[in-house]
Amino acid sequence: MRGHVYGYEITMSSPIDEDAPALATVAARSVELLSDATGPEVGYPGLTGTGDVEDVLAALNRMAGDLQQTATQLKRYLDDEFAAGHLTRAPGSNGQNAETVAAARQALTDVQENARTLARLLTTAETAMLALRPGS
């Protein structure tokens, strides 16, 4: 897969070849640019009509679903690494490894739940947008 993200060409052959932190950085930067492209300060440069708003909402909804899956996979990775004995606490941190992993897992579960809520709200907003058309 090839594409351009904020001026850079990105080529991805398969997820197995990709660097997850780098992809997360690209995703975060893309959302930052989306915020700029929908901002009133410069006249909403990325929006030319309600159809654009619907498209943005639909894409964000897909992203919310993908965030749920990413959180699930990060929890599995954490579990696998803990079970293999690869995780230890950083120097100066409090608590036991199991407690720290449990706290991270709970936070990722909260991410999943909030991403589900985000997806639901985006669907509601998109449905409402379908009923709107610009006035003449």
Q: Per-residue pLDDT tens for 19-42?
A: 899 889 989 999 999 999 999 998
Q: Residue 59's pLDDT is what?
A: 96
Rounded to a whole number of angstroms, the CA Rg of the chain reads: 19
Instruction: Name which residue leads in pLDDT, 85 or 64.
Output: 64
Instruction: Taking residues 109-134, report their average pLDDT.
Output: 93
Q: Is the dihedral of CA 3, 53, 50, 38 positive or negative?
A: negative
| Residues 90, 103 within the same domain | yes
| Residues 36, 94 within the same domain | no
Q: Residue 85's pLDDT is what?
A: 86
| Residues 117, 57 within the same domain | yes
Alpha carbon of residue 27 to chain centroid? 7
**Structural domain harbouring 28:** 1-45
Q: Residue 15's pLDDT is what?
A: 58
Total-model pTM: 0.78
Q: Residue 1's pLDDT is what?
A: 47
Phi–psi pair at 5, nearest 5 degrees: -130, 125
Strands 2-5 and 8-11, by their bridges, are: antiparallel
